[in-house]
Amino acid sequence: MKGESAMKKVGVLTGGGDCPGLNPVIRAVVRYAIKENYEVVGIKNGWKGLIEINAVKLDLASVSGILPKGGTIIGTSRTNPYKLDGGVDKVKKNFKSLGLEALIAIGGEDTLGVAAKLYKEGLNVVGAPKTIDNDLSCTDVTFGFDTAINVATEAIDRLHTTAESHNRIMVVEVMGRHAGWIAIESGIAGGADVILIPEIPIDINEVCELLKKRHERGKSFSIVVVAEGAQLKEGDMVKQEEKLDAFGHVRLGGIGHTLGEMIEAKTGYETRVTVLGHIQRGGTPTAFDRVLGTRFGVKAMQLVVAKDYGKMTALQGIAIKAVPMEQAVCKLKTVDMELYDIAKVFFG
């Protein structure tokens, strides 16, 4: 017992939307921490768990078999301590009461934005980037993205055959609030005929002309991929509801149906819409995401051991680096227009 009480403690939490690859990160954190004589405390349901002191000890048995499992074994939420009365004070107080030397926050721009602020206010925090949108700066890729584009690509592949059988336009709505990475990469990989992203407002007349030209060449079907955050030149984002979450985001969804109705009305071609939604963020992570998540988890614990706080793990080229969290969340990483120009070669 004496030896156990002398062990240093590190907390780990997952915040924001779930995605494939979270459990490999948690597993790697625990395995490396134990090697370095740390005890790991899993904070349940993101920042909410640190506000309410909802935590569980993570050991080898806890993480056994979770590598191929999607989601997160410690739960998640979109809780923002800075929007709750006394939330930040509770986080700081409970950080101390749990005896944590450091905290590893795994999440996207919102979760890591909170982590960056807490670090500036004196908490020992390290970050690991997670988002299927792949929109965090300072890292080439975030885990979860590869799984999402593979799921979306498979869906597009399957829609090709039914679209061709029925001579239809198929509109596929994928995730991507402010960045169209999923749309552009799954669209290119799936051979989409038009790809629409948040970075470029939609000109519906141009879209319809591209589809008409394709049909004039003898093709009787087309695939249109659109990111949920894409918007028409004359309009705003299409929302499911106006209510904001704790980080000021509205719930998006519906651009696919809006687009489908407009395409059918303007071209006369029968059009159907498929919304992939949460299918993209669920299920088993790809091998790439398992490996990347594992590398991020090990690097995060190495930063803790070195007391190199305020940093986020990042993939740059083929190397895992440490970058300031503040830089990673200061602006979103949007689609490279060179990649979009490549996609345009195949439009219509």
Q: Which residues are catalytic?
A: 133
In 128-217, which ranges are continuous DSSP H helix? 145-166, 181-189, 204-216
CA angle centred on 251, ends 248 and 253, rounded to 5°: 145
* Cα–Cα distance for residue pair 276/289, rounded to 1 Å: 20
Alpha-carbon dihedral angle through residues 236, 279, 243, 104, given to the nearest 10 degrees: -110
Q: Which helix (H) or strand (E) holds 39?
A: strand 38-43
Give the pairing type, strands 38-43 and 55-58: antiparallel
Separation CA 344–CA 348 (nearest Å): 9
Task: Report the C-alpha gap between 91 and 166 in whole angstroms.
Answer: 56
Q: How far apart are the first and last CA of the chain?
A: 69
Question: In the structure encoding, which two tokens stand for residue 212, read together?
Answer: 């008409």
DSSP H/E element including 321: strand 319-324
Length of the chain: 348
